[in-house]
Structure 1
């Protein structure tokens, strides 16, 4: 093998290694991707039971029902549609009715969203960007004048 052929084989092997590493990285990231939906968007979306998604909106007033232990049931709304959510775990301190929330999880076979994490808004001026944009588009949420 000539020097030129050795150099070419090293370059080809390096490119093949980089291509395989890139492919495996994108495959792994694709498995962990969770898409963001507002409740009204779920009516037209094709979400399979068990598919991980993020559900965002406002905690509907009068719907928080605390169960046994740390289980809680509540509805997430965008003022057009509501989705029933069940969660078992410790809720954030700022979780309450009328506040912005993002839940991550999947739909069960009974079409109830089973959340494995709940994120509440951070302070009075913060709303998660996806939730704020979705609520603004529907005319439900407005920024305060101090922002």
Structure 2
């Protein structure tokens, strides 16, 4: 016959295990829409994501591609040197957004066009998101900033 102490210990361990499993399931459920994967333009063209997938794309705004449409719609291309993806964005661009500069956009890829819901631009002349730098280095396009 098991002692009362051993029964309590087994009950506490079982309850803790169930609580841990439930907490892990709740965290996963809560984060299912909050995780946005980063992709470079080359990766997007090589393996186009589904139209419902929300992800981040980053690279350089292609020189000469920035076109402002009627109203708030803006069209431009983002490149990493290996691939070029057209982007549309409805809204006001960040003040530091310009051609031949780094950017990261959040949105989805529909019909061969990245429809951005958010655009982030670099915050000073030396900063570029790590994912964008890595993608540009992979393509052999990235140049280190001068240390002046």
**TM norm structure 1:** 0.89
Uncovered stretches (5+) of structure 1, i.e. residues with no partner: none
SS of structure 2 residue aligned to 1:31: coil
Does residue 138 (structure 1) correspond to residue 139 (structure 2)? The answer is yes
Post-superposition offset of 1:115 = 0.4
The aligned length equals: 146
Post-superposition offset of 1:67 = 1.8
Uncovered stretches (5+) of structure 2, i.e. residues with no partner: none
Post-superposition offset of 1:46 = 4.4
Matches within 5 A, 1:1-147: 2-108=4-110, 110-146=111-147
Instruction: Measure, in 2, the Cα distance between the counterparts of 1:43 and 1:86.
Output: 16
Q: CA RMSD in A?
A: 1.8
Range that drifts further, 97-106 or 35-44 = 35-44
SS of structure 2 residue aligned to 1:32: coil
Name segments (4+ residues, structure 1) moved above 4 Å: none
**TM norm structure 2:** 0.89
